[in-house]
């Protein structure tokens, strides 16, 4: 009874076999159903996430958030879904019809495909391929293609500008992200997601906090949310690459963005928070799923919190931050981790001693980074923009005062 999900899938496979289906066919059918369940789970999660995010946003902005439809506004996402489904799907004049309509599907797929390799529990994982980490990065590149297709096929200047920004941002932030992802791969000695989870004693957030930080920052840039939301900066380029989309076309971009944030939480949990591991999760996989979801939510909340707290950065700041700060730091961390890891392996330091030394190395690199930043900052000429003094609004005199 400890593993109901595999129990059900076993029972189902045996049922099909008893009907006289070939073994290969049964495997194909089981895999297809598993894929459908994982994908649907992701999409259903988004319904809840929209409500959660709006509630968090409301609280952080000193509002109530949705509170009209149903208790605590819980039915609000359903009202939104019905509304968005009934909207007309328009294709603008001069747009490239095929590319225009494929782009949202591709954007959605690029996020959903990541869930194929994420381990929910020790035994509950879509497919445990040995190149899991690379697979995640590769699948993410479909998202870039989707944004490019959407921006180009819309036949709209703002959409094209948004797509340009998106590609500049996504392609450049992919580099420190991949380097930061190499750190858990190096520590776990494997690219398989389940192996990385199993290797985390203690969690990699303790052993490699700087890599976790870089991964968090760069994945936020990949998602394209504030403070990295230049790709759809509504005060500059309307809505960026999805300016021309309406109805469910826009809805798919919207949902894929939400799901992407949730996926970032899941990746943070898998790579740095120990994934499904926790007390009793080895023997009771169903407990692992609970731990995994709690950790994913922590990562998700972190991203949302940052999104709601920071203003948008400029494009030059965005690129300078990536190329002059994140990429060199990621490279230094990777090299330092590799050298120290090998030295400790030769010296025979295990477990907690190993973790403490790794943590100390990370803190030292962080401290030196801050020192360098402090030394560089005063030398750089600040560009000050001076405005003419603006008239201050004065309250009109009321008769009784």
Partner 1 sequence: MSGLEIIFLIVAGVTLLASLFVVTTPNLVHAALWLILALFGVAAAFVLLNAAFLAVVQVLVYIGAIAVLMIFAIMLTRRVMKDSGPQTNANWVWAALLGLLLFAGLTFVLINSGAEQASLPALALDADPIAQLGQELVSPNAYVIPFELASVLLLAAMIGAIVVAWKK
Question: Residues in the site for partner 1, rule: CB under 8 A?
Answer: 24, 28, 94, 96, 99, 129-131, 134-135, 137-142, 144-145, 148-149, 152, 155, 160, 163-164, 167, 171, 174, 189-191
- At its nearest, how many Å lie between partner 1 and the CB of residue 167? 6
CB 151 within 8 A of CB 163: yes
Give me the residues paired with residue 119 across strands.
125
Complete DSSP assignment for 302-335: HHHHHHHHSPPPPHHHHHHIIIIIIHHHHHHHHH
DSSP three-state, residue 125:
strand
- At its nearest, how many Å lie between partner 1 and the CB of residue 144? 5
Q: Which is nearer to partner 1, 83 or 189 (CB)?
A: 189
Q: Which is nearer to partner 1, 172 or 256 (CB)?
A: 172
- At its nearest, how many Å lie between partner 1 and the CB of residue 5? 24
- At its nearest, how many Å lie between partner 1 and the CB of residue 220? 19
Q: Which is nearer to partner 1, 90 or 141 (CB)?
A: 141
- At its nearest, how many Å lie between partner 1 and the CB of residue 252? 19
Q: Which is nearer to partner 1, 178 or 261 (CB)?
A: 178
Residues with Cβ within 8 Å of residue 180, at least 6 apart in sequence? 211, 212, 214, 215, 218, 330, 333, 334
Which residue, among 23, 5, 4, 1, has the nearest Cα to 13 in the 3D structure?
Answer: 23
- Alpha-carbon distance of 197 to 277, in angstroms, equals 7
Here the tokens at position 304 are: 């949302």
- Alpha-carbon distance of 12 to 59, in angstroms, equals 45
Q: Which is nearer to partner 1, 191 or 208 (CB)?
A: 191
- Alpha-carbon distance of 63 to 163, in angstroms, equals 33
Q: Which is nearer to partner 1, 57 or 199 (CB)?
A: 199
- At its nearest, how many Å lie between partner 1 and the CB of residue 98? 9
């Amino acid at each position: 009874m400890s593993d109901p999900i595999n129990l059900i899938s076993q029972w189902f496979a045996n049922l099909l076999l008893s009907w006289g289906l070939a073994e290969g066919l049964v495997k194909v059918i089981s895999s297809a159903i598993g894929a459908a369940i994982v994908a649907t789970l992701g999409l259903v999660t988004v319904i809840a996430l929209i409500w959660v995010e709006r509630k968090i946003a409301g609280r952080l902005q000193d509002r109530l958030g949705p509170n009209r439809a149903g208790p605590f506004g819980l039915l609000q996402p359903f009202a939104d879904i019905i509304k968005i489904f009934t909207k007309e799907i328009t294709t603008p004049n001069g747009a490239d019809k095929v590319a225009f309509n494929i782009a949202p599907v591709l954007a959605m797929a690029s996020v959903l495909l990541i869930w194929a390799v994420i381990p929910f529990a020790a035994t509950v994982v879509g497919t445990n391929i040995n190149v899991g980490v690379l697979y995640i990065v590769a699948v993410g590149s479909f998202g870039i293609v989707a944004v490019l297709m959407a921006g180009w096929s819309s036949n709209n200047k703002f959409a094209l500008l948004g797509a340009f920004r998106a590609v500049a941002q996504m392609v450049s932030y992919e580099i420190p992200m991949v380097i930061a992802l190499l750190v858990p791969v190096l520590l776990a000695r494997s690219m398989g997601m389940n192996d990385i989870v199993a290797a985390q004693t203690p969690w990699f957030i303790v052993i490699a906090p700087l890599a976790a930080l870089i991964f968090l920052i760069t994945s936020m840039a990949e998602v394209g949310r504030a403070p990295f939301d230049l790709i759809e900066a509504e005060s500059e380029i309307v809505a960026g690459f999805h300016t021309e989309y309406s109805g469910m076309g826009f809805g798919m971009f919207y949902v894929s963005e939400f799901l992407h944030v949730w996926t970032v939480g899941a990746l943070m949990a898998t790579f740095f928070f120990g994934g499904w591991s926790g007390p009793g999760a080895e023997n009771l996989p169903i407990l692992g799923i609970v731990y995994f979801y709690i950790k994913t939510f922590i990562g998700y909340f972190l991203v949302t919190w940052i999104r709601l707290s920071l203003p948008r950065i400029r494009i030059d700041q965005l690129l300078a931050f990536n190329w002059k700060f994140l990429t060199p730091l990621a490279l230094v961390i990777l090299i330092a981790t590799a050298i120290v890891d090998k030295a400790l392996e030769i010296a025979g330091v295990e477990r907690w001693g190993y973790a403490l030394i790794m943590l100390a190395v990370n803190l030292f690199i962080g401290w030196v980074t801050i020192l360098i930043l402090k030394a560089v900052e005063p030398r750089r000429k600040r560009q000050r923009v001076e405005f003419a003094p603006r008239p201050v609004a004065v309250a009109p005199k009321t008769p009784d005062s």
